[in-house]
Amino acid sequence: MDQPVQLSTAAHRTGAAAHPLDPLSVAEIARATTIIRQHFPWGDDLRVETIDIDEPAKDLVRNYVAGQQFPRVARFNVYRQGETGVWQGRVDLDAGQVVGQKFRPEARAMVAVEEILLIEKTVRADARFREALRRRGLLDEVEMMCVDPWTVGDFGHAIEEGRRVLNCFIWMRMFENDNYYAHPVEGLHALIDLSTLEVLRVEDHFEASGDYIPVPRAPRNYDASLLTEFRAPSAPLDVVQPEGPGYRVDGNLVTWENWDFRVGFNGREGLVLYTIGYTHQGRRRPIVYRASIAEMVVPYGTPERSHYRKNVFDSGELGFGRMANSLSLGCDCLGTIHYFDAVVPDVFGGARTIENAICLHEEDAGLSWKHFDLRNNRTEVRRARKLVISSISTIGNYEYASYWYLHQDGRIEYEMKATGIINTAACHPGQPGRYGTEVAPGIVGHIHQHIFCARLDMEVDGPGNSVVECDTHVPPKGPENPYGNAFYVAERTLPTELAAQRDADFAKMRYWKIVNPGAKNWVGTPTAYKLEAGSSVQPFTDPDGPSGKRGRFIQHQLWVTPFDAEERYPAGEFVNQSRGDDGLPAWTAKDRPIENTDIVVWHSFGLHHLPRPEDHPVQPCVVCGFKLMPSGFFDQNPVIDLPPAKNDASCLATSPHCCG
């Protein structure tokens, strides 16, 4: 920022927070907006991209004592309607003033849902668009056209220079509530200036040849009101906790079993977990200071028509948090549920509450451990449970369901479930081309990837951490390996950022450990957590191409940086129409040391998706994720102390008393 940030610790604060990491409240966002509007003399032209909590210094958080005064500062990104560029700054909510600001003339703000909703009517009314429909014999159905705007990246097109633009793909409904993704109007697009709502160009790829791909018209629906046949319902499967849940919630603080953490949320990343720690043998031990999914990109693999422009950053261009669902009891979440509401600003700075944006509940996790002693005929068995913290966002045609799991044995697991509707295009029946699959007659789903990037601000037993790469090696057959069966794990500490740009390697069964060199377990080795990268994806987008250079974070599955509060998003602060000059590649070019210091681990993972007919008309959940597993963090099995228990509600299905 251009000006130093002076933080106030005044006793009076609007919408008082209970902890320094609490998200901004409705009152705090309203106060921040008022201060911003007073500072920038734009009147009704002021638009808000983000207003989020400016996370305070880690030492303040670590040393915080309940009741102690702390600063409340909001970060903001705002822009003026009709102009390119974004102002960044901070607002001291106690002092009531903007305390730092910087203008980014090259930046394009994220796309707001309020802006998207204005586009469809504008495109339908455009004379060039209507003429294109007339040539196709579709003009009478113009009011059934569904106009989906997509971000465009930067392909050097002169018409887009200095503008904030979207490229629209067209589908249509046959009737109300019809699944329009079953009816793509292939090859017809409208380029629109988002600031002025001017349709810059209407492009019809088949106008010259007249060889139009027909609109598939067969209904392919999923809405319960339109389906006529359902399988017989299963017997009820209820999750019942008659004595209540095992977790406790105090504001945004959650404690469960040996775990405690704080729940956060913002408009860009959505769900954030703070200060994750595990108490063992009476001692609380920190593991992760902050965990989030900081970015994701969906590169499509076809060069055909305008589909080559599909390379969307659903977090950095739209915002997972802003697009979060209000979850439904008994549908999205089962059991004894605690919901957290989320508050995000709308494009005008008003505070919008997303009710039930985050779900907290417990699930059975199967077997924890078991052993049968053959000699004394004794069996010891313990069952496991896990804590689930989840949020679901709808980004256009896809739903992204984000799940963090905490396990009793110290594991932290992340799972992304992708569902919703695949992006569709039309083809001549039986001719999908080599870049996709025909999922229904005349409907093609193009090959693509979903690649996410987790930002893991680690503090395993404290802030002094290092990353160790672990590869399995086979000695050459000979004196060291006479029988050809020998293999061992070799470890090396990654010293600097460039050395820590690492890829998964199945041939070496590679994994990484985050270790604390200053903390030892009972066998004298550093305490550690292991990153299990179970959903590594090989990127196929050229890193120097127009799309690939914006998302170079996908080129490695592991990056490590020293903590910097301004290095928040792996593809940079501003992704919309960016050129790839910010983010992990730029930061790590400094090649800073990363041994025994406060580090951030960035893990890229995801899905390689060639659509199947089974993915249409709505896609069953496909799953990816990763695990953080204790690896020498504990001296022995940390759940050896689980008490013996038997579930009295379980019964034989053949028993006449089984159903009560």
Full DSSP string of 437-494 = EEEETTEEEE-EEEEEEEEEEE-TTSS-BEEEEEEEE-PPSBTTBTTS---EEEEEE-
For residue 275, give Cα distances in angstroms to 167, 360, 361, 462, 590. 41, 17, 19, 11, 28
Inter-residue contact 423 to 445 (CB < 8 Å): yes
How far apart are alpha carbons 126 and 198 in whole angstroms?
9
Cα atoms found within 13 Å of the Cα of residue 621, Cβ hemisphere only: 12
Query: Using CA atoms, how far apart are residues 453 and 138, in angstroms rounded to an integer?
Result: 42
- Beta-strand runs (E) in 332-435: 338-345, 351-373, 378-395, 398-407, 412-420, 424-426
CB 496 within 8 A of CB 591: yes
Identity of the amino acid at 322: R
How far is CA 656 from each of CA 238, 651, 652, rounded to the nearest angstrom?
19, 10, 9
HSE of 121 in the Cβ direction (CA atoms, 13 Å)? 4
Choosing from 314, 409, 457, 461, the catalytic residue is: 314
Task: Say if residues 199 and 122 touch (Cβ distance below 8 Å).
Answer: yes
| Residue among 361, 364, 237, 256 at smallest CA distance from 645 | 364
Residue-wise burial string across 132-159, b where 16 or more C-beta atoms lie within 10 A, e elsewhere = bbeebebeebeebbbbbbbbbbbeeeee
347: which 2 tokens?
Answer: 């494009």
Contacts of 366 (CB under 8 A, 6+ apart): 383, 384
**What DSSP assignment string belongs to 407-438?**
ETTS-EEEEEEEEE---EEE--TT---TTEEE
The tokens for 154 are: 């930067």
Identify the three-state secondary structure at position 135.
Answer: helix
Phi, psi (rounded to 5 degrees) for 133: -65, -40
Question: With the CA atoms of 290, 293, 294 and 296 taken in that order, what torsion angle do they form, in degrees rounded to the nearest 10?
Answer: 170
Active site residue 314: yes
Helix (H) / strand (E) element for 558: namely strand 558-562
Kindly report the number of other CB atoms within 10 A of residue 95's CB atom.
Answer: 16
Are the CB atoms for 399 and 425 separated by under 8 Å?
A: no
Whether the Cβ atoms of residue 50 and residue 267 lie closer than 8 Å to each other: yes
**CA–CA separation, 601 and 466 (whole Å):** 10
Does residue 398 carry a catalytic annotation? yes
Written as six digits, the tokens of 500 are 């820590």
For the CA atoms of the chain, what is the radius of gyration? 27
Annotate 542-577 with b (16+ C-beta within 10 A) or e (fewer): eeeebbbbbbbbbbbbbbbbbbeeebbbbbbbbbbb
Q: Which long-range contacts (CB under 8 A, 24 or more apart) does 8-17 make?
A: 8/71, 8/92, 8/94, 8/95, 9/69, 9/70, 9/71, 9/94, 10/94, 10/95, 11/69, 12/94, 13/72, 13/93, 13/94, 14/93, 17/70, 17/72
Q: Which of 212, 289, 398, 511 is catalytic?
A: 398
Catalytic residue ranges: 314, 398
